[in-house]
Amino acid sequence: MTVKYSSDKTAPLLQVKNLQTGFKIDGEFYNAVEGVSFDVNRKKIVGIVGESGCGKSVMSLSIMQLLPPGIGKIRGGEIEFEGENISKLSDKKMNKLRGKDISMIFQEPMTSLNPVFTIGYQIEEVILNHENITKKEARLRSVSLLKSVGIPRADKIVNEYPHQLSGGMRQRVMIAMAIACQPKLLIADEPTTALDVTVQAQILELLKGIQETNDMSIILITHDLGVVAEICDEVIVMYAGKIAERASVDELFNHPKHPYTDLLMKAIPKMDEDVEKLATIDGLVPSIINMPQVGCRFANRCPKAMPECLTVTPQLGAVARDHETACLLYEESWPEGNKPQNEGATVL
């Protein structure tokens, strides 16, 4: 008899193991996500942060298997959802999962809805995809879903078209669609980036509220550390397709270990300081075509880089309780058998 993790409520809901996702450029595959592993526990919100082009979205699309067909491809590793590897499931089997157990909301609420169908039709579709109920019942459910995401006049809006709603309202509709079948995991790919600040706060509050009532887990992808601090339980900092640091929210904000995380935090503008110029990190994320294969990928932008950073590839190592980082400043990140020769090399 095989032991199914799904019966075990303490086991992680989602386990990503050594995920590698590649993109085809000029007939050759380049990895946009390189050996990423992490767990998402039940009823937790995991934030994934990093600047544009660091592989956050690609990773989330890999979990859903929504990579652009023919161009993006999972090239290695496993994605286990409730103990079952879903990285190699057929499209037909994935369709049973998508929208029901795992659902997703996207960055662009303006274009994510189909312009020629009513809001009601688009919410009903996900319900009818997964549940054996009549259209009438589905319509009633859509109305109550719209109410639950805070849309006024839900019984009217249900018959309206996306262009009649504002961006914030459309994102609420997207959320209503995503939670229609009470999924166990919601992947939110920069859900507030395209919205203005006041609406951002409302949407985050809404997500947090739904997460609590539905006992759902959320992967929140963002480049806004403020958002992370507000609602996440755990944070993963990604850089150039790899995890740079992973920790609980309090731990990360109080004791950032990786220089990249440190610089990200310093780049947050502070209300109580009057500065002429905002702090930035010099340089750009290397493009996936000329990614350094050995050494730390952040080395050329890192103010604390050492000669070893270009030759030794750091690994994620536990530097504190519930805190891992991949930086050669910490002995725990050095690969096995390649430990620093003398302690003095580590200058902090």
Partner 1 sequence: MLKYTFRRLLGMIPMLILISIVVFSLAKLMPGDSLSGEIDPLNTNPQYIAEMREKLGYNDPLPVQYFNWVTDFVQGDFGKSTRFKVPVADVIMEKIPNTLFLGVMALLITYILAFIMGMYSGRKPYTIGDNAIAGINYVMLAIPSFVAAVFAIYFFSFHLNWFPFGGSVDILVEDGTFEYWLSRLHHVLLPAIVLGAMSTASYTQFLRNDIIENSRKDFVRTARAKGTPMKKIYNVHILRNSIIPLVTFLGFDFAALIGGAIITETIFTYPGIGQLFLDSVTNKDYPILMALTMLLSFLTLAGNLIADILYGIVDPRIRLD
Question: In the numeric block, which tokens belong to residue 281?
Answer: 């990190």
Question: In the numeric block, which tokens belong to residue 160?
Answer: 């309206």
Q: Give how many residues touch partner 1 by CB under 8 A.
A: 31
Region of residue 338 (phi > 0: left; psi between -120 and 50: alpha; otherwise: beta): alpha
Site for partner 1 in 154-173 (CB under 8 A): 161, 163
Binding-residue pattern over the window 273 to 312 for partner 1, x denoting contact by CB under 8 A: ----------------------------------------
Site for partner 1 contains 220 (CB under 8 A): no
Question: In the numeric block, which tokens belong to residue 297?
Answer: 């990928």
**Interface pick for partner 1 out of 64, 216, 225, 228 (rule CB under 8 A):** 64
Rounded CA separation 23/70 (Å)? 9
Edge-to-edge strand list for the sheet holding 234-239: 102-105, 185-189, 217-222, 45-49, 234-239, 242-248, 323-325, 317-320
* 139 touches 118 (CB < 8 A): no
Rounded CA separation 259/134 (Å)? 55
Rounded CA separation 6/117 (Å)? 37
Site for partner 1 contains 113 (CB under 8 A): yes
**Interface pick for partner 1 out of 12, 14, 48, 100 (rule CB under 8 A):** 100
C-beta closer to partner 1: residue 13 or 176: 176
Site for partner 1 contains 321 (CB under 8 A): no
Angle at 64 between CA 229 and CA 298, to 5 degrees: 50
**Antiparallel, parallel or unpaired: β 72-81 and 84-85:** antiparallel
Amino acid sitting at position 113: L
Binding-residue pattern over the window 177 to 216 for partner 1, x denoting contact by CB under 8 A: xx--------------------------------------
Amino acid sitting at position 321: R
Which of these ranges, 111-119, 144-152, 242-250, 260-268, lies near partner 1 under the rule CB under 8 A? 111-119
Q: How far is the CB of 322 from partner 1 (least distance, A)?
A: 31
Question: In the numeric block, which tokens belong to residue 345?
Answer: 């090399």
Which of these ranges, 73-81, 115-123, 205-213, 266-274, lies near partner 1 under the rule CB under 8 A? 115-123
Rounded CA separation 297/309 (Å)? 9
Site for partner 1 contains 95 (CB under 8 A): yes
Site for partner 1 contains 39 (CB under 8 A): no
Q: How far is the CB of 162 from partner 1 (least distance, A)?
A: 9
**Interface pick for partner 1 out of 9, 92, 136, 321 (rule CB under 8 A):** 92
Q: How far is the CB of 321 from partner 1 (least distance, A)?
A: 36
Which of these ranges, 125-133, 213-221, 256-264, 274-282, lies near partner 1 under the rule CB under 8 A? 125-133
Q: How far is the CB of 224 from partner 1 (least distance, A)?
A: 21
Rounded CA separation 302/263 (Å)? 9
Buried/exposed code over 33-58 (b: 16+ C-beta within 10 A; e: otherwise): bbbbebbbbbebbbbbbbbebbbbbb
Residues making contact with partner 1 (CB under 8 A): 64, 66, 91-92, 94-100, 103-104, 106, 108, 111-117, 125-126, 129-130, 161, 163, 174, 177-178
